[in-house]
Amino acid sequence: MAGIIVAFSKPEEGRTIKNLLVRNGYTVAAVCTSGAQVINMADSLRNGVVVCGYKLADMICTEVWEHVHEDFEMVLLTNPGNMYEFDKMGIATLSMPLKVKDLVNTVEMSYSISERRWKKKKLRPKPRSEEDKKIIEEAKSALIEINNMTENEAHRYIQKKSMNTGSSFAETAKLILESLYRE
């Protein structure tokens, strides 16, 4: 599940930001005062946004970022002098005093980026195991030898069968080997 984590060293600041986000239609998963709490909460969520101040009770925002940034976006509320430094790191920054509209728009954008990255990561095909690669090569070799196909034709044949049956490429190669050597 995706979520928004609000993290400030002062609990009242965290509650204020949470209330702003909730009033604008967002669900806040947690309000934290320490980096360790943020990291623990982020581990229980698949992705999301961390809205935080520069310094938390036990670490600064960049240390939190190092632990959660693969699946999370960060929105840092800071003074205008520090903004450029964090933009280079890929952390969205908002200067204080804060405009509610800027916060809402930045959180929305960051949340969308996090969701898109997670979906793209989820859809990425898993690498084939060495065993699967070996089975596929054996099936191609058998098709080349027995049916006088080129390697490209053998590959396309396995691919087409895989798509028609809805099974994986390696499973289809295994079935082809079984049927060829059964005959």
Rounded mean pLDDT of 81-94?
A: 79
* pLDDT score of 82: 67
pLDDT tens for 116-140 read 988 888 787 778 889 999 999 999 9
pLDDT for 71: 84
pLDDT in tens, 160-178: 999 888 888 999 999 988 8
Number of domains in the chain: 2
* Mean pLDDT, the chain, integer: 89
Which CATH number do you get for residue 58?
Answer: 3.40.50.2300
Residues 85 and 62 in one domain: yes
- For the chain, give the DSSP string: -EEEEEE-SSHHHHHHHHHHHHHTTPPEEEEESSHHHHHHHHHHSSEEEEEEESB-SSSBHHHHHHHHTTTEEEEEEE-GGGHHHHHTTT-EEEESSPPHHHHHHHHHHHHHHHHHHHHHHHHSPPPPPHHHHHHHHHHHHHHHHHH---HHHHHHHHHHHHHHHT--HHHHHHHHHHHHHH-
Residues 75, 11 share a domain = yes
Q: What is the pLDDT of residue 183?
A: 58
| CATH code (residue 144) | 1.10.10.10
Over 90: is that where the pLDDT of 56 sits? Answer: yes
pLDDT category of residue 24 using cuts at 50, 70 and 90: very high
pTM as predicted: 0.69
- Quote the pLDDT of residue 102: 93
The residue range of the domain holding 35 is 2-123
- Both 74 and 31 in one domain: the answer is yes
| Same domain? 24 vs 57 | yes
- The percentage of the chain sitting over the pLDDT mark of 70, rounded to a whole number, equals 97
Q: Give the pLDDT score at 103.
A: 93
- 117 and 134 assigned to the same domain: no
